[in-house]
Homo-oligomer: A and B are copies of this chain.
């Protein structure tokens, strides 16, 4: 561990570059990005990474390819001069001749990045490059189960020109990493992962963190019923793609009563039942055992009026080790009134990081109850309001806080690309990923430089003390 501590300590607080230091490095990173994007666009390379992701993180080829594609597009976005454009500052005239105030984006210097198992390429690359673009020196730790993906990607980045000494890549367990953080004392730590660890790190690091943690993500179907097939398909993907192991996965669905008479639920059921282990459209759950999920199901079904809509059984004919989970895509109906009861609320809104969702419905005049359920949640990551009624949309949007919220008939909760912000809202520690705004927020801070050159006014005399 000591070499990592020393390496990080060597980086000054003003970073490896900033607008007044080594600006040519902004260009270097524009070049690296263009080259790496081009590499990832080669079918041979993208296929290699897609399959590598699949070997360690259970998801379909298409879902794994999605990571590679988003990563490639992200790198394209920061080709050429676009890295230096991230360091764009602004200035305002001062009070007298010779004075101007400038607001710059400044790096933190030594920083740390900790990323989870479920997106072994996309999350670490996007956060790592963001940190580097702004002038930081990161130590990067990816969940050891999947870190081979990033290990290979580091080699690709080195090939594309990344200086070896710019990034420290560590392969360790969480405990060692925690110790490293305590000793190396990075100026900022980006953590993506569970809420439990996130809260612990926030205390350990005295708040010098940006976090992207859990999400008990909700979807509301509004009063206007349209395109049932499409909405059902999106629900299936949102709840069950990657076996529900996305922090953006749909955890609860609120249906307006108008949808109850549609074929929506039966269609979602049909789609869920298409999923199979063979192509990993459903597969192992890495952080919850089969037993734990079935136990959770059992508890939920003890709630009055609840029922199993589909799933709720273990997967069959597989060799998934017992330390992982393996269940069929599952949906459980709970009446809205029951969800809101204090005795049930915590249970119902417990995030199961697997192919598991709650479904409920609400009457026309019950929207306030739905909004109350949302307000009481703890994590506010993604959400969807499926409706083309602008009045309904503004009512729900104006009374909620989820960070990435899709609105409209084609709304989804998952599949956030690199072109818009992804991250929680409502928390000053909340991180963002992907966009120029996210990079600037997470990986740089404001520094104000006020030039005051003069001249001192002719005939100036020393005024009285104040």
Contacts and interface: CB of A to CB of B under 8 A. Distances in A.
A250 B22 CA distance: 29
Contacts of A463: 233
A271 B465 contact: yes
Interface string A383-399: 00000111100100111
A410 B95 CA distance: 12
Interface string A228-245: 011001001100110000
Contact of A454 (B203, B227, B402, B418): B227
A102 B98 contact: no
Contacts of A430: 445
Nearest to A447: B425
A74 B81 CA distance: 8
Interface in A421-448: 421-423, 425-430, 432, 435-438, 441, 445-448
Interface stretch (A83-91, A115-123, A151-159): A83-91
A281 to B, nearest CB: 4
A30 interface: yes
B428 A448 contact: no
A41 to B, nearest CB: 8
A420 B101 contact: yes
A227 B408 contact: no
Nearest to A403: B447
A14 B454 contact: no
Given A34-B76, A97-B22, A106-B425, A92 B88 contact: yes
A144 interface: no
A375 to B, nearest CB: 6
B408 A454 contact: yes
A419 B101 contact: yes
Given A426-B187, A452-B411, A390 B98 contact: yes
A406 B446 contact: no
Interface stretch (A205-213, A215-223, A306-314): A205-213
A194 interface: no
A458 B429 CA distance: 40
Contacts of A401: 13-14, 106, 109, 447
A333 interface: no
Given A422-B448, A426-B187, A230 B460 contact: yes
Contacts of A12: 375, 399
A23 interface: yes
A436 B85 CA distance: 10
A246 interface: no
Contacts of A380: 13
Central interface residue in A80, A229, A399, A418, by most chain B CB within 10 Å: A80
A296 interface: no
A452 B96 contact: no
A456 B202 contact: no
Contacts of A209: 207, 428
15 contacts: A19-B93, A34-B79, A60-B465, A79-B79, A80-B418, A90-B90, A95-B417, A99-B410, A106-B425, A208-B427, A271-B462, A409-B455, A420-B448, A421-B446, A441-B446
Given A14-B375, A98-B391, 19 more contacts: A12-B399, A24-B97, A34-B38, A60-B466, A77-B79, A89-B90, A89-B91, A97-B398, A101-B421, A108-B426, A202-B207, A233-B463, A390-B408, A405-B447, A405-B450, A407-B451, A409-B455, A411-B452, A423-B448
